[in-house]
Structure 1
Amino acid sequence: MTKERLISLDVFRGLTILLMTIVNNPGSWEAIYHPLMHSEWHGCTPTDLVFPFFIFIMGAAVSFAMPTKLYNKTTFNKILTRSIRIFCLGLFLYFFGQIEIFKLQGIPLLLGRLAITALVGYLLMGNFSSKIKTYFAFGVLGSLLFLAYSGIEAYQNVRIPGVLQRIGIIYFVVSLLNLKTNQKTQALVATILLLVYWAVMTLVPVPGIGDTNLHKGTNLAAWIDSILLKGHMWNGTKTWDPEGILSTIPAIASGIIGLLIGQLINSTMSQVRIVKRMIIIGVPLIALALVWDIIFPINKSIWTSSYVLYTSGLATIFLAALYYIIDIAKYTKWTQLFVIFGVNSMIVFFLSGIIPKALKMIEFQNPKATSEKINLLDFLYYFGIDPYFNNPKTASLAFALLYVLFWTVLLWLFYKNKLIFKV
C-alpha cells in the first residue's frame, strides 16, 4: 500500500528551500559567514548541500507522485511538459534582467519586465488542460531559445544552463526510469553514470589543454561547455558553467538515489525497518565518498561522483531522522514553518530570483552621497539593517533572515488560502 504524502519529505524540502533563500540573499556578498558560502573549489560547505538535497528530494518525490508504473503516451507527455516548464522557469530568470521593451528605462521598464514575468509565470504554472500546458511550454521554450540565439545584442550572452534547468532535465530522466525500469536497473544506471563520469574526467585528455585535470576552467567539462554553450554560460563570458552539460550526467545519479530511497519509504516494509535500512544505505555512501575523494575530490562545481555519494548519503541520513521524528514518533508541532516552504517551493525559487533584480532596478539619489545613485535593495540593507550591527557578517545574515521572514508571511497566506503553485 503506497503512502499518499510524506510530511517529513515536505519538511526536508522546506528546510532546503529555506536555506537556499538565506544563502542566495545576503545583505552584502562581501560579508558572509563561511558556512553560508560555496566552497571555492574542492570541499563541501553546508551551502553546497542545498542543490543536491533538492535533487535528491525531487527524486524521492517522484516515487510518491507516480507510485504505479503506468507508462503510456499521456504519461510521457505530462512528464515532458513538466520538465520543460521547470526548465523554462529557470531559463527566464536569466532573461529578466536583459529584457528590452522599445526604449523604456527605469520604472516603466521594470513594470514591463514584471508584466512579462507575470505572463510567463501564468503560462508555466497555470492550471490548464494537458494539451494547452504542452503548447505553452514549447512556446515559451522556443521563444526564449530563439531570443538567445537570434543575435539580438541584449540576449547574446544570456545564460542557458542553471539550477532549475538541471532539475527539469533530471526530473525527466528519473521519472522515465521510475516508470520503465526496476530498482536494480535504476541502481545500475546510477553506478554506471558515476563511474563513466569519473573515467571521462580523469582519463580523457582535454583538447587544446593537454593532460586531464580537475582545475577550474581547464577540465574536460569546462571545455565541452566552452564549445557547446559559448557565450551562454555563467556570468556570460566565462569559460565554464557550474550547471554545465557534462556535469549534469552525475547529477542525474543524485536524483536516482533519491528515487530509490523514495521507493524504499513507499514500500510495505515496517517504518522502523525502513529507517534502519536508510541508515545502512546512507552511512556507506558517505564512507565510500570520503574514500573516492582521495582520487576524485568532492566538488560541487563539477559535481564529482564523490560529491554525489557524499551529499546523497547525508540526505538519506537526514531524511531518515526526519521520517522517524515526524512520521513515526508523530512529533510534528514544529514542522509547519517548513511545510509551508516545502509545498510551495517552486514559487519561492522563481520569485526569490526575480525580486532582488527588480529592487535593484529602482534607483534614486543616495542620501549620503548626493552625486551618486543607490538602488532600493542596497538602500534597504545599508540604511535599514547595517547601521544596527557592529559585525558586517551578522548584518548581512540579518538581512537574509528578514527576507526569509517576508517569504514566511507570504507563504503562510498562500497556505492558509490553499494556494499551491505547481509546475
Structure 2
Amino acid sequence: MTIVNNPGNWDAIYPPLEHAEWHGCTPTDLVFPFFIFIMGTAIPFAMPVKQLDFAVFNKIVVRSLRIFCLGLFLNYFSKIQLFGLEGISLLAFQLIITFGVAYALLGNFSLKIKTWLVFGIFAILLFLAYSPLEEYQDVRLPGVLQRIGIIYFITSLLYLKSNLRTQLLVAASILLGYWILMAFVPVPGFGAANFEKNTNLAAWLDNLVLNGHLWSTSKTWDPEGILSTLPAIATGIFGMLIGQVLNLGISKMDIIRRTTIIGVTLVVTGLLWSIIFPINKALWTSSYVLYTAGLATLCLTLLYYIIDIANYKKWTPLFLFWGVNPMIVFFFSGIIPRVMTAINVQNPEIPDEQIDLKSFLYEFYIVPVFNNPLNASLVFPLIYAVLWSLLLWWFYTKKIIFKV
C-alpha cells in the first residue's frame, strides 16, 4: 500500500495497483484483508495463555485505542490550525503536534501512563470532531487503522473467552447476518435492498450516523464504515482460526494439508457466494471475506512450506525490516505526502509560479527519464519505498521497534 498510495500521477497507474471500481477484486484489494487476517493469526501466538483478567483487558483496550487514535489523527493533520498561521509556519506547527502524538501513542511508557495518554488523546479528537470549531466539522472519523483497532479488540476478547467452534460459529453468523441485512432489508429513502454505491444499507447507515464525517471522495458513505466493519471482524476471526491451527502441535506437513484444504474451501465458497453477493471491498461483502481469507490462507501455507519446511530464508530479511515496524510506516506514509504537497518551490519553467514539492520532484526529476507515463508514475513510489527500506533496515540493526 506504500506503493499504491503514492503514485507520481494518479491518472497514470497500472491496473493491478488500483482498487476495483466497485464489484471485483484486484491485487490491491487483497492488501487490507490480508493485513487483518495476519493480525488475527498473530493473536494466538501473542496470547499463549488464554486468561482474561483486568490487566489483560486493559492492555487490549489501550492497544486498540492507540491504533484507533493513530488512524484518527491522520484525518486531523491537514486541519490543524493555530492563530491564523499559514505556509511553512503552520506546517512546522502541524509536524510538532504530529511527532508529539506519535510519541505519546508509540512511546515506551508504563501501562498506566499509556492508558491516561491514549484515553486523553481519544477524548480530545472526538471532542474536536463534534465541537463548534468549523475546521473540524467535516473531519473523517472512520479509517483503515480505526477499523484495525476495532477488529483487534473484538477478536482478542473472542479468542480469550471462546473455543474454535464458537469462533467459527460467530464468523459464520456475522457473514450470514450481514448478507441478510444487505440483500433483504429495504433501504429507508431508497427502496429495495441493493448493492449499489450510494443507495445500499451500509451507505444509508454511514450517512445517518456519521453525516459530515465520512470519506471526502464519496461524502455519503465510507469504505471503512459502520456496517461493513462487521464482516471485516470475520476476516480477523478466520486469521485467528488459522493461527490456532498452526499451534495445534501436529506435524508441519499435517498443518500444510489442513490449511490447504481450508484455504481452497474458503476461496471456492467465496466465489460461489459471489454469484448472489458480489465480491466487493468497499462493502466488505461476505463473499469477499471468504475469498480473501482463503487466498490469505493459501499464501500463508506456501510461505510456511518455503520457510519452515524447506528452510529457505535468505530472501526474508527485507520483509522482516518492514514487518516489525509496519505502524510507523503506515502512519508517516499518511503524513509525508501531505507535507510534500504543502511545501511550495519555484517552478523552473515559470519563474512567477509556485509548485508543490512532490510535483516538482516528479515532473522535473522522474518524468524526463521515462517515456511511458505509467512507468514514471510507478518509479516515484518505488523510490519512496526504497528510502523507507533503508530507514527500516537502520531501525532493525539498531533494534528500534515502534510497538503499538
TM-score by length of 1: 0.94
**Equivalent position of 1:249 in the other structure:** 230
Partner Cα separation in structure 1 for residue 16 and residue 218 of structure 2: 28
Give matches, 1:17-416, under 5 Å.
20-235=1-216, 238-416=219-397
Partner Cα separation in structure 1 for residue 82 and residue 395 of structure 2: 32
The ranges of structure 1 where at least 4 consecutive aligned residues each deviate by more than 3 angstroms after the TM superposition are none
Partner Cα separation in structure 1 for residue 144 and residue 233 of structure 2: 13
Larger RCO: Structure 1 or Structure 2 (Cα < 8 Å, ≥ 6 residues apart)? 1
**Equivalent position of 2:399 in the other structure:** 418
Secondary structure, counterpart of 1:169 in structure 2: helix
Contact 1:83 1:168 in 2 (8 A): yes
Contact 1:55 1:258 in 2 (8 A): yes
Contact 1:231 1:237 in 2 (8 A): no
Q: How far off is 1:153 after superposition?
A: 1.2
Partner Cα separation in structure 2 for residue 326 and residue 379 of structure 1: 43
Letter in 1 for 2:96: A
Secondary structure, counterpart of 1:272 in structure 2: helix
Contact 2:77 2:335 in 1 (8 A): yes
Deviation per residue, 1:288-318 (Å, 9 max, x gap): 1110000000000000000000000000000
Percent of residue pairs identical: 63
Deviation per residue, 1:204-232 (Å, 9 max, x gap): 00000001110001100000000100000
Q: How far off is 1:366 after superposition?
A: 1.6
Partner Cα separation in structure 2 for residue 127 and residue 181 of structure 1: 31
Partner Cα separation in structure 2 for residue 218 and residue 375 of structure 1: 37
Contact 1:159 1:236 in 2 (8 A): no
Partner Cα separation in structure 1 for residue 234 and residue 218 of structure 2: 29
Secondary structure, counterpart of 1:374 in structure 2: strand
Return 271-280 or 33-42, whichever deviates more.
271-280
Which 5+ residue runs of structure 1 have no aligned equivalent?
Answer: 1-19
Deviation per residue, 1:207-264 (Å, 9 max, x gap): 0000111000110000000010000000177100000000000000000000000111
Contact 1:157 1:236 in 2 (8 A): no
Q: How far off is 1:271 after superposition?
A: 0.9
Letter in 2 for 1:271: K
Return 230-239 or 185-194, whichever deviates more.
230-239
Partner Cα separation in structure 2 for residue 144 and residue 119 of structure 1: 14
Contact 2:345 2:360 in 1 (8 A): no
Secondary structure, counterpart of 2:353 in structure 1: strand
Which 5+ residue runs of structure 2 have no aligned equivalent?
Answer: none
Contact 1:53 1:311 in 2 (8 A): yes
Partner Cα separation in structure 2 for residue 70 and residue 237 of structure 1: 42
Secondary structure, counterpart of 2:3 in structure 1: helix
Partner Cα separation in structure 2 for residue 278 and residue 340 of structure 1: 27
Q: How far off is 1:371 after superposition?
A: 4.0
Partner Cα separation in structure 1 for residue 188 and residue 227 of structure 2: 15
TM-score by length of 2: 0.99
Partner Cα separation in structure 1 for residue 310 and residue 89 of structure 2: 54
Contact 1:157 1:237 in 2 (8 A): no
Letter in 1 for 2:391: L
Secondary structure, counterpart of 2:109 in structure 1: coil
Secondary structure, counterpart of 1:209 in structure 2: coil
Contact 2:61 2:153 in 1 (8 A): yes
Residue-pair matches, total: 404
Secondary structure, counterpart of 2:2 in structure 1: helix
Partner Cα separation in structure 1 for residue 201 and residue 108 of structure 2: 42
Partner Cα separation in structure 1 for residue 368 and residue 124 of structure 2: 45
Letter in 1 for 2:97: I
